[in-house]
Structure 1
Amino acid sequence: MGQVFFGYFAAVIALTAVLVVALKNPIYSALSLLVMFFHVAGLYVTLHAEFLAAVQIIVYAGAILVLYLFVVMLLNVKRDDRYHSQWRVAAFLAVPLLMEFIVLLAGSGTATSAPAGGGEGRVLPPDNTLAIGEILFSTYLFPFEVASLVLLVAMIGAIVLAKRDIEGREA
């Protein structure tokens, strides 16, 4: 049953990713991106990573997609008429993905084996949030701090640029 859910989520993710690139209307592309984000979160749930699924929805579907929509509204982009038909490019990218998907589904049924030991003494996995926190603040502490400093510098730069723009309009 897990393979059926994985197949569904993978197919929808691949299809909507192609639609994000292929659609001419940026609003429809953003809606396709939203559907893709929710299905990626569903894929995380099937992997028993509920915390990552929640973060996926909150950060990507909630914040990043809203940022994209604000940029689209700010630039007042209606359609992209530079490209006549992007469906050929989308099909060129989608056909290999579909073939790989079919090969993976066909080969997944052959490698089934029962766990050794009959399941007695099975250790439950640790809490997802606890495991992510421990790894993030021990093994990956330095890259985490560097990323926070980069975001802080970007935020300060955006404030300075916005302040200059406001001061330039008042003068």
Structure 2
Amino acid sequence: MILFLMLAVFALVMALLVVLNPNPIRSALFLVLNLFCIAGLYLLLNAYFLSAVQVIVYTGAIMVLFLFVIMLLNLGTPDKTPNKLKMQAPLAVIGGLIVAGALIWAVTKGTPAIALPAEPMVGGYPLGSPHGIGLTLYDSKKPWLFPFEMTSILLLIAVIGSVVLARRSYGEEANKS
């Protein structure tokens, strides 16, 4: 329980730093730390495969993609962009305090604790194991493969689009000078 609380608090702090940090590269690095905390939470749930996939796919590949796009679009210098929405920051703080108050109320006065069922099984295998995930992913009654592949195609389209936009704006700047 102590390890869970430590990971949960650290994950929340890193998530706040992701949102509050004005530098996008530092924000992405705080997101890496947050994803490591989530992988630790998967370990506490005995989902070793999901924890490894969390580190390899999200913390590794997706974050490299994010950093590539940040650097490609030259977002590492937030000082040069003027702040047009001056009321956004106070409204965000007020909204965050309302959400935090609702979460605190839900945790302290919410539904009573219930006993968790035994570990979910798929075909006689634990759900978090590679075999259980494979059985769930390729089950003909639950077609999860199509949305999974569509997500990868959407990520590819996003990368190609960011490269095209970066080249177009770079080409326009070169023509002006």
TM-score range, shorter chain: 0.5 to 0.7
Letter in 2 for 1:74: L
The corresponding residue for 2:42 is 44
Q: Deviations over 1:109-154 (max 9, x none)?
A: x8587x9xxxxxx999634222111111115652313442564587
Taking the aligned partners of 2:58 and 2:89, their CA distance within structure 1 comes to: 26
Q: What is the SS of the residue equivalent to 1:24?
A: coil
Does residue 1:21 correspond to 2:22, yes or no?
no
Taking the aligned partners of 1:27 and 1:64, their CA distance within structure 2 comes to: 14
TM-score, L = length of structure 2 = 0.63
Which of these two proteins has the greater Rg computed from alpha carbons? Answer: 1
For residue 72 of structure 2, the aligned residue among 71, 74, 86 is 74
Q: What is the SS of the residue equivalent to 1:11?
A: helix
1:1-171 → structure 2 map (5 Å cutoff): 1=1, 4-77=2-75, 78-79=77-78, 81-83=81-83, 88=90, 91-92=93-94, 95=97, 99=101, 111=113, 126-127=125-126, 128-138=129-139, 141-148=142-149, 151-152=152-153, 155=156, 158=160
Taking the aligned partners of 2:141 and 2:95, their CA distance within structure 1 comes to: 34
Bigger relative CO (Cα 8 Å, ≥ 6 apart): 1
Asked whether the equivalents of residues 138 and 144 of structure 2 are also in contact (C-alpha less than 8 Å), the reply is no
Give me the identity figure in percent. 34
Provide the aligned C-alpha RMSD in A. 3.9
Point out where structure 1 has 5 or more consecutive residues left out of the alignment. Answer: 116-121
Taking the aligned partners of 1:74 and 1:111, their CA distance within structure 2 comes to: 48
| Bigger shift: residues 66-75 or 79-88 | 79-88
Distance 1:58 1:154, change over 3 A: closer
Distance 1:87 1:39, change over 3 A: farther
Distance 1:39 1:135, change over 3 A: same
Q: What is the SS of the residue equivalent to 1:8?
A: helix
Point out where structure 2 has 5 or more consecutive residues left out of the alignment. Answer: 172-177
Letter in 2 for 1:134: L
Asked whether the equivalents of residues 22 and 90 of structure 1 are also in contact (C-alpha less than 8 Å), the reply is no
- 4+ aligned runs moved over 2 Å, structure 1: 80-107, 110-113, 122-127, 139-143, 149-159
Distance 1:18 1:7, change over 3 A: same
How many residues are paired up? 153
